[in-house]
Amino acid sequence: MKVLVTGGLGQLGREISKLTASSEHTYIYTDVRADGDVVRLDITDSAAVGALVQDVDVIVNCAAYTDVNKAESDADAAYKVNALAPAVLAEAAKAAGAMLIHVSTDYVFDGESNVPYTEDAPKNPLGVYGRTKLAGENAIIASGCRHLIFRTSWLYSNSGKNFFLTMAELTASKPEVKVVEDQVGTPTYAYDLAYLITYIIEENLLDRNGVYNYSGEGVCSWYDFATEICSQLGHICCVIPCRTEDYPSPVKRPHYSVLDKTKVKADFGLEIPYWRQSLAMAVKEYFSLNK
């Protein structure tokens, strides 16, 4: 099989790349800029997408405009990458008879619930990022292409810009750090989601179709997550809980974004690691990278 991965330099793309290094299938990694084995492909360029997708069996779209704050003042760019480009990928996938595996977000929900969101719970994104990601999902579904959409939350890894690495740096360098405790959700180690996606491809479970939630197991606040990061790294820092309003932000964020994973576990026969266990794996990797 030939598999095209977009966003190959991002957190998720890099984890998929590591996991497929010895696969018997052909994986082509692309991103908006070329780097090493990663080929340049701007997913908003429909001609370039059409040319590359022609003979692929699976497209994994890890590319996105992920800066939630910046998206508020850069809505056109976010819309192009998160909404228009998935539509382009979907049309190309349909023409090639390929499966499109796409990644979306808990930010399609407004966070007003107090029970985990099922896949078909009402959507009501609070900002530009969530609205553009929801438009991307809808375009893929409307295209009629074969698709799997995985909504995830609080993604982190040992590369790129994410909460885990930010807290690792802050708790190492500051005596105290304030973190919001009134936003609750579940961290997702990018490796775990990459594992699911590569498992589906490698085991040829490509007869499934639809939208699935995927995050770590369990529930915590950003404060709990930061406290655990600090503790597992052995840093001496006082993590202090604060409220969302203490951190002025251009965008409203959901207070509750826990995803119900019943469907993904049933359809893929999956056990999802508890978020603290996944964090322990990330911390182990962090130490090996920062010896």
Contacts of 278 (CB under 8 A, 6+ apart): 187, 188, 189, 191, 192, 216
Give me the least distance between CB of 238 and ligand NAP, in Å please: 25
Binding of residue 194 to ligand NAP (CB under 6 A)? no
- Can you tell me the distance from the alpha carbon of 56 to that of 169, in angstroms, rounded to the nearest whole number? 40
Residue placing its CB nearer to ligand NAP in the complex, 35 or 176: 35
Binding of residue 11 to ligand NAP (CB under 6 A)? yes
Give me the least distance between CB of 175 and ligand NAP, in Å please: 27
Residue placing its CB nearer to ligand NAP in the complex, 79 or 227: 79
Pairing of the two strands 220-221 and 184-185: antiparallel
Residue placing its CB nearer to ligand NAP in the complex, 117 or 154: 154
| Type of residue at 96 | A
Q: Which residue is nearest to ligand NAP (CB)?
A: 10
Catalytic residue among 129, 156, 191, 212: 129
Q: Is 129 a catalytic residue?
A: yes
245 burial type by CB count under 10 A (0-12 exposed, 13-18 middle, 19+ buried): exposed
Please give the full DSSP string across 167-179, using - where no structure is assigned. HHHHHHH-SEEEE
Give me the least distance between CB of 154 and ligand NAP, in Å please: 5
Is there a contact between 143 and 92 (Cβ–Cβ < 8 Å)? no
The residue count for binding ligand NAP (CB under 6 A) is 25
Residue placing its CB nearer to ligand NAP in the complex, 44 or 221: 44
Torsion angle of C-alpha atoms 274, 280, 281, 284, degrees rounded to 10: 180
- Can you tell me the distance from the alpha carbon of 113 to that of 122, in angstroms, rounded to the nearest whole number? 10
| Type of residue at 24 | E
* Binding-site member from 58, 63, 140, 168 for ligand NAP (CB under 6 A): 63
Binding of residue 64 to ligand NAP (CB under 6 A)? yes
Interface residue list for ligand NAP (CB under 6 A): 6-7, 9-12, 31-32, 42-44, 62-66, 81, 103, 105, 133, 152-155, 160
- Annotated catalytic residues are 129
